[in-house]
Structure 1
Amino acid sequence: MPGGGNAIRGSRIGSGPVGEEARGEAAPRQTVTFHCSRGHRSTLAFSVEATPPTEWDCPKCGMPASVDADNPPPPPTTEVYKTHLAYVKERRSEEEGAALLDEAVQSLRSRRKAGEILF
């Protein structure tokens, strides 16, 4: 029946409700509430046998969240992307760069004069 109808999607005809008696008893759980720096609260269930983590990624915004509502973890700082040239400039001064460039150019010119083929 395209475009409508009363078909229940995702179930077979004749299948009954899947309740707790079919699945068995649920394991005992504890709920833990996490708070992120943007004010989101997320309540998650963990097994009572498990030790819940102290930090969790907020499912709403992805920021780190902790169980301490008064002191949520700060947003992570990300390092700004640097180009290869920026890293080179950190290691070399302008004078050193110019000297290396002159040396490389002289080497190429001397190889050209000697008849070497450069690709």
Structure 2
Amino acid sequence: MAGGSPIRGSRIGAGRMGEADRGESAPRQRMMFFCANGHATRLAFSMDAEIPQTWDCPRCGLPAGQDQQAPPPALRNEPYKSHLAYVKERRTDADGEALLAEALAKVADRRTPLG
């Protein structure tokens, strides 16, 4: 089978591809972003779009800025804290003892047999 069908691999309604069929593309501006690892990323933005201060580097994930000499520092990740760690930040040991004594008194009042 040497020839084949001329419409093979196309769909109904598909026409020529080109600027005339799709319309004109919006004017663009190209910006460079640099991360702390030295990766450079070139991005295209619309001329009327607001350019962000930072962009996540697609290679390493660090924040990237437009100044190659002073890229933004890596974000500091906070370690995981348990619920108990947050409670201990808000309460002193004396507060904890007072709350425990109050709760134990309520439990003891419920357990006393009725007369």
Alignment of 1:68 onto 2:80: no
Structure 1 unaligned spans of 5+: 1-6
Structure 2 unaligned regions, length at least 5? 1-7
Superposition TM-score, scaled by structure 2 size: 0.73
Structure 1: distance between partners of 2:90 and 2:77: 22
Percent of pairs with identical residues: 52
Quote how far apart the aligned CAs of 1:31 are: 0.8
> What's the TM-score once normalised by structure 1's chain length?
0.71
Q: Which runs of 4+ in 1 moved over 4 A?
A: none
Q: Distance in 2 between matches of 1:68 and 1:104?
A: 58
For residues 31 and 14 of structure 1, the distance between their equivalents in structure 2, rounded to whole angstroms, comes to: 34
Q: Distance in 2 between matches of 1:53 and 1:15?
A: 37
SS of the residue aligned with 1:30? strand
Instruction: Give the RMSD, CA atoms, in angstroms.
Output: 2.4
- Within 5 Å, give how 1:1-119 maps onto structure 2: 8=9, 11-12=10-11, 15-115=14-114
Aligned length: 107
